[in-house]
Every structure is written in structure tokens, then in C-alpha cells.
Structure 1
Amino acid sequence: MEKEYYTIIARATSLGQGSIGVIRISGNKVTSVIKHILKLKYIKPRYAHYLPFFYKNKIIDKGIALLFPKPNSFTGEDILELQCHGNSILIDLLINDIIININNIRIAYPGEFSKRAFLNKKIDLTQAEAIADIISANSKQAIFSAMNLMNGKFSLLLKDFKNLIINIRVKIESFLEFNYESDFSIFCKKIFIKLKELLKFLIKIIEYVKNGIRIKEGIKIVLIGPPNSGKSSLMNLITNKDVSIVTDIPGTTRDVLYEKIYVNSVPIQIVDTAGIRNTKNKIEVIGIEKTFQEIKNTNYIFLVVEDQISEKNLSQIIKKYLKNFMNKIPIIIIRNKIDITNNNSEIIYKNYYVIIKLSVKNKKGISILTNFINKKIINTNNNEDQFTARTRYMDSLNSIYKLLIKGQENFLKTYSLELIAEDLRLIQKNLDLITGKFTSKDLLNNIFSQFCVGK
């Protein structure tokens, strides 16, 4: 097994030529690097030194050297940063010279600097992942949300939730150990109230995480509906591009088409799908199957129908195709072609869905749709306290939710303090998977392998 204490080195700037190139070194050989490259025994910590950089005892460049001694550094180890000119050959010469002439120093693995920061308890796993989110952010909101994650807003939520769990566990253990002669039923009622508070808090966290995933991956809107209802025309209008082919022939769109737009710096993926209808055409059938695969992973469903459709037929379409998604995914019904029915453009809010009447052809009522997207979709997912999130967080939170629901049900039936105490222990263990307190080595390697080498 490789030594954990190997000093690591990597370029922290992207490949290619640039005005500046940064080399980062972390570990106990930093002092040796200072002596070898700078020809100095010591440099003042946290101070920008403009110095010559040596290669085989000759000055190869001049640049900035910064020293961050342990434990008050990003990795918790000694860190040296060398800022030279951004020539790839120059950077490679310096790195190779350091590796060849100093023992126990090697090129860092992807994400290893961040991994060491995590292992040295400088950050938790969610904060480490936030670094990758900042680098890959594709919108202004994503940048600020990733920064919120890095600053620990999610970690604090999880900490408060964990403290509630610990508080309940302590009360139960204390009662079992010392107060068993007290009124058992009153104590159980108090515990059940605490469990309901815990569930309420958990639902709040889950909503934050759902929004965080949307910010990281973008909001997804799937357009579905019968053939010739105007889905493809609406797609082209929303994206302001000729993405979809538009004809009067039913079944023109037979595959799934994607296009990304940005609204107030928020990425939205619009998905055009095959028209849903009974058909024996094998290609259309495949396209319709793909439609429902997309619906399973969407944030919003836009059901596009002709305004001429009767309420009965509309209800049949909803019942046949969207029954399993009611109350799970918001459904917006777009009644298109009001230019034919001579109806007014308007928005109607019903119990289970929203209806928007418009005409794609005449662009009448389109402002109603765009305002709805801005106010009800973008603003709903736009929160200054929001943080980016990953599906692995949701996996753990879903497990916690199931454990808590099942634990409450069993507790109401049995009033077994021992069983609910065990459920709470398992919930706490699942919670610690998110922050990385209890995380398998394989998961850690998988997470950090997706980082840049210099991070």
C-alpha cells in the first residue's frame, strides 16, 4: 500500500499557454522544494515573494512563491505554490526536476489535494464536492449555490438535523436506563412529537436538495402531447431556434430532441418528444417509449394539446398517460391554437395542474407562458440560501425518509423504545454517509477521481 505521506505536486492551472502557470505542492517535502527550486532555506509564510526559479542551478524563470504552513492550509499540510509564466514546457521542466531530485514526491492524483483536505478534516465531503461544482458551474446561480455548499450551508442543516436525532436518542437511552418507572405513555407521546418534528425538518432538507440538483443539472421541462398539437413549434419558439422539424404529418417527431436555454442565468433543458398516440409504427413506438423515460426524470411536464380538445378527451389523455405522475411532477397544460377557437389567452390554476391558453402561430399568450416560467419555475428554484446538490445526497435522504416513516408506524403500533432507538441509529449512519464521516474507500476514490488533477 502506498504511503499516505507522499508529498504531491501538480499544475493547478489548465493545460496550454497562458500568462500565468501555477504549480502546487503539498506535504512534508515542501521545505526541500524551497531549497531546490528557490535556493533558499526559508520563506516567510503567507507572503508573496517575487523570486528566481532555478533549473539545474540556472535561473529558468522569475515568479511568485507562496508558503502556507500546516495545519492552517487548504490540505492541512505544508503547501507551496509557485506562480511562473504559463508555458507548458517550462511548467513540466520544473515539475519533473522536483520529482527527480527530491525523494518521496510524486504527481498528484485527480482531486488529491481536496481529498487530503477532507481526510485532514479541513472540510467535509459535501464541501469538497462543492469545489468541483464551482469549477464546472454553467450559470451565475450555480456559482453562488456551489459557494454556499462550500461555505457549509448544507453541512449546517445536516448538523442541526443530526443534533435533533442525537437529542431524541439521548432522551430514549436515559429513560430506559434511569426513568423506566416514570409515566411510559406520556414519555412515548413526547417522543412521537419529536419524531414528527424530525420528519418535518427532513422534508425541508429534501426540498433544498431537490432544488440543488436542479441548479447543478439544470431545470428540465418535457413537452408531450398528441401529434400535431404544436409541441415542436413551441420548442422552436421557446428556444428561438429551428430545433424541431415542423410539418402537418402526424408522427414527424420520432426521437427525443434536447435544447438548453438560460433564463436569468438558470439553465433550462427543453425536451421535445414524439407525439403520444396509439400506433403500430415501430419507430414511433420506440419514440413514445423514450418519451416516458424522459418524463420519469423531468422537473416539469408541459402537456401540449389543441384548444379544440374537449374536457372529456383531455381528462382521458391525462388519465391514460400521466396518472402515475400526478402529485409527483408539476403538470402544465398548454392549450395551443386559440387562433382557431378565437379564445383569449389566459392562465388558469386548478387543483392538480395549470392551464395556459395561447397560440404558437400568432405568438399570442406567449408572454403568459414566459412569465409563468420566470415566476413559478425560475423564482421557485432561485433562493439565495440554496446550495448545489448531488443525487447521492438524495439517495441517502430517501433511505432516511423510509426509515423514519417506517419507524414512526412501528412506534405507534408497538411503543417499542428499543426499536425506534435502533431506527434512529441507522438514520444517523445514513446521514453521516453524506458528509463522509462513514464513507467507503471506493466511494471516496470515485468522487475525487472526477476532480481536476490540481485540485
Structure 2
Amino acid sequence: MEKQYYTIIARATPLGQGSIGVIRISGNKVINVIKHTLKLKYIKPRYAYYLPFFYKNKIIDKGIVLWFPKPDSFTGEDILELQCHGNAILIDLLINDIITHINGVRIAYPGEFSKRAFLNKKIDLTQAEAIADIISANSKQAIFSAMNLMNGKFSLLLKNFKDLIIDMRIKIESFLEFNHENNFSIFCKKILIKIKKSLKFLIKIIQYVKNGIKIKEGIKIVLIGPPNSGKSSLMNLITNKNVSIVTDIPGTTRDILHEKIYVNSVPIEIIDTAGIRNTTNKIEVIGIEKTFQEIKNANYIFLVVEDQISENILSQIIKKYLKNFLKKIPIIIIRNKIDITNSNSEIIHQNYYVIIKLSVKNKKGISILANFINKNIVNTNSNEDQFTARARYIDSLNSINKLLIKGQKNFLKTYSLELIAEDLRLIQKDLDLITGEFTSKDLLDNIFSQFCVGK
């Protein structure tokens, strides 16, 4: 790894002209920058000064200066912030002048300020990722959820779970060391109770993470069904836009159409797909293949059918097209065109499905669908403690879940404390991968390279 203690400099505000431009400097050469650019020997920490900025011994601008000496700064190093006018040429002149005249100062790499904060143990890896989430948040809830991640909501959950794992490891190692054979049966029962408690807590964490991924990436609802069942009309009604072409000709929708809406600040992506049916039309076949690719990535499936469809045919459609997704992705059956069958609009909870009867044409029952989306899709994925999350979290947590379940099964068969102790060690290692306490340089480089330069 390159010497971390090169002093780094970068503009912390977006490119382009603006009223204010911020230059951030971090490292042990900050005091040299103060002397060179401000012509001062010392300024008081954490005070805002209005001072002239010098370029080749001439005043080029005036602005606000803030100094944060180590270790009480974001990066854990000396940090200086220069707030000048937001002219790109002016900012470049100041940065180039500092790099040219002060040895050991270079332009920061993307995300390097946050990376140094992580390496100096000011934040863990999840909190570093939260910074990028705050910047890229596309809804109010995403902002608050990213802030929860930044404030350590997820870190605290992981710490509490890790404490359970460490407690078991300590107790097992202690028992093996002192070999209390008379208490072996009682001790094993206590360990099993702790494993069950850990599994229950882990499931709670996994659900939080799954919800966090939905907030970050948006909730995806895929509309599928036979041709002319009303998918495209429903898409237009939900999004309040004419995004889908509606005709009486089967197979009109052949490509995938995406449209995003916001419900209580939660982004929901509605995806209209090609009608599923047996067809020899090559273009339509490609559209149907794309439909199944979208289903694999969906959070919810809305199966749109005509209300007059028989239960037998409906079962055949589900069996043929959705059998691989049963119990994995919630399926909501939309029985459309109740204006033809003269049925009442209603919601029915049946086995693994929710059935909503409505008429897109007459807008009858649409309020039932809207309430369902609001209460059962949006509200179940949002609360005050929710945080944004990433796929890598769920990968590690799923690995931990498998290890814990396997360890529990093997322990019930063998009562081998040595084997369960090894499983718990591997679990702790996976936990440390999430927070960055144990991680590879490649993973760090990949994560921080996605940040903007000034962060």
C-alpha cells in the first residue's frame, strides 16, 4: 500500500461554477499549507476565519478557513478546508499552487478521505459506505436511512450479534480448557439455547438488510400475465402516465417498460412485461424471455388476469410460469375486468396469494390496490430505525446463517464442542468482513473507488 501519510488535496464541491467552492486537505502537511496559502503561522482549531488566499504571493481570493487538528477530525489526520468562490479556474489555481510548492502533497483518489477515516478507525466500513448512500439518495426515506447507517444503527446490530458469538466462543474454549466432564450435558443444552437465540437475532438482522437494499435500490414490482389481461392499462393507471401502449391486439407489449413512482418517499419501480403465452413469434418470444429475467430480480409479482378466468386455468398459469418463484417472491393476483363479470371489488387472502378484484377501466377497486401497496409493501419496508444496505451485507449474513444452521445440526448429532467452536470462529470472521475489521485491500479499493474525489 502506498504511504498513507502523503497529504491529499481535492475540491469537495461539484465541478462547475457556483457561489462557493470547497478545497479539502488532509495530512501532516496541512500546517505547511496554512503558512503557504494563508501566510499565517497558526490559526485556532475549529474556528471559522475570513482570510485572504494567496497565489504566487498575490491575493487571489478571500474566504472562510477551518482547521481540524488530528485526531479530532473526520479522517483522524490534520484537516484544512478552504471555502473560496466557486470558480473552477480559481480552485484549480489554488490546488496546483499548493501541490507545486509543498512536497508530499498530491491529489486525492476517489473516496480517499473516507478511506483514511476508515483506516484511522474513525468509522467502520458500513459507515463509510453510508457517506456514498447519502450523496446518491433518491428519496427522503433513503436520506434518513443512509444517515441511520452512518450513525451506526447497523454497526450496533452487528456488534450485539457478534457479542453473542464471542460469548459462546469464550464459554466453549473455557469449558474445553478446564474439562468439566460432569457438567457436559448441562453445558451443551446451554450452548444450544444460545445458538437458537443467535439464529433468531440473525433473522431479524437479515430482514433489516433486505429492507435496506429495497430502500437503496427501490422496490421492484413486475406486472405479468396473459395478453390483453390489462397489465399495460394498470401500468398507466398506477404511474398516472401513458407509458404503455394499450390495444386489443395480443402481444402488443414486447419490450420491458420501466417507470418509477414514489409512495411516502419510497421509490417503487413498476415494470410492464410482455404477455405470457405460447407463441412462435420470435420477437414476442424474446420479450417473454426478458419477462422472466425481470421476475428473478423482482420484490413483488403482480399477476394480472381477467376476472372471468377459471381457477383451473389460473392454477395452470401459476404452475407453468411461477412455480420456481413460489414462497420466494410474494405473488399478488390482480383479477381485472370485474366490470364485465359484475363482481364486487375486494381483497382476498388465500393460501400463498393475495387476490385483489378490480376494474382498471372503471377504476373500481383501485383504492384497495393503493391501500395494499401503501400498507403491505411500503410500510413493511420502512421504519425509523431502518438503514440502507448493500448486496455484500446479505451475502455475508446468508453465509453466517448457513454456518450457524449447519453448526446447530452437527452439534445436535455429535455434541462436538470443537466443531461448533470452529463454526463460530468462521462466523466471527464473516462479521468482520462486513465492518471491515478483517478485509482485503482489493475489497477496500473497490468500495472507495466508487466515491467522488472530494470524499
Per the TM superposition, whether the score is higher than 0.5 is yes
The 5 A counterparts of 1:268-279 are 268-279=268-279
For 1:207, the equivalent position in structure 2 comes to 207
Under a length normalisation based on structure 2, what TM-score does the superposition of the two structures give?
Answer: 0.99
Alignment root-mean-square deviation, CA: 0.8
The 5 A counterparts of 1:79-90 are 79-90=79-90
**CA-to-partner distance for each residue in 1:191-234, whole Å, 9 max, x for gaps?**
11111111111100000000000000001100011111000110
> Unaligned 5+ residue runs, structure 1?
none
For 2:399, the equivalent position in structure 1 comes to 399
Q: 2:315 & 2:6 partners in 1: Cα distance?
A: 66
For 1:121, the equivalent position in structure 2 comes to 121
Write the letter of the residue equivalent to 1:120. N
1:16 Cα offset (Å)? 0.5
Under a length normalisation based on structure 1, what TM-score does the superposition of the two structures give?
Answer: 0.99
For 1:50, the equivalent position in structure 2 comes to 50
Matched, 1:245 2:245: yes
For 1:358, the equivalent position in structure 2 comes to 358
**CA-to-partner distance for each residue in 1:372-429, whole Å, 9 max, x for gaps?**
1111111111110000000000110111111111111111111111001100100110
Q: 2:156 & 2:382 partners in 1: Cα distance?
A: 20
SS at match of 2:181: coil
Write the letter of the residue equivalent to 1:331. I
Write the letter of the residue equivalent to 1:303. L
Matched, 1:183 2:183: yes
Q: 1:245 & 1:99 partners in 2: Cα distance?
A: 58
Q: 2:297 & 2:424 partners in 1: Cα distance?
A: 31
For 1:234, the equivalent position in structure 2 comes to 234
> Unaligned 5+ residue runs, structure 2?
none
1:180 Cα offset (Å)? 3.1
Q: 1:286 & 1:406 partners in 2: Cα distance?
A: 41
For 1:285, the equivalent position in structure 2 comes to 285
For 1:98, the equivalent position in structure 2 comes to 98
1:242 Cα offset (Å)? 1.1
Identity of aligned residues (%): 88
For 2:30, the equivalent position in structure 1 comes to 30
1:183 Cα offset (Å)? 2.6
1:314 Cα offset (Å)? 1.1
1:182 Cα offset (Å)? 2.4
Q: 1:422 & 1:2 partners in 2: Cα distance?
A: 35
For 2:267, the equivalent position in structure 1 comes to 267
For 1:367, the equivalent position in structure 2 comes to 367
**CA-to-partner distance for each residue in 1:295-350, whole Å, 9 max, x for gaps?**
11111110000000011111111122112212111111000000100111111112
1:245 Cα offset (Å)? 1.1
Q: 1:193 & 1:244 partners in 2: Cα distance?
A: 54
For 1:172, the equivalent position in structure 2 comes to 172
Q: 1:123 & 1:443 partners in 2: Cα distance?
A: 16
1:362 Cα offset (Å)? 0.9
Write the letter of the residue equivalent to 1:16. G
More off after superposition, 170-179 vs 110-119:
170-179
For 2:257, the equivalent position in structure 1 comes to 257
Q: 2:294 & 2:264 partners in 1: Cα distance?
A: 25
Q: 1:433 & 1:199 partners in 2: Cα distance?
A: 19
4+ runs deviating over 4 angstroms: none
Q: 1:104 & 1:202 partners in 2: Cα distance?
A: 46
1:179 Cα offset (Å)? 3.3
SS at match of 2:267: strand
Query: How many residues were matched structurally?
Result: 455
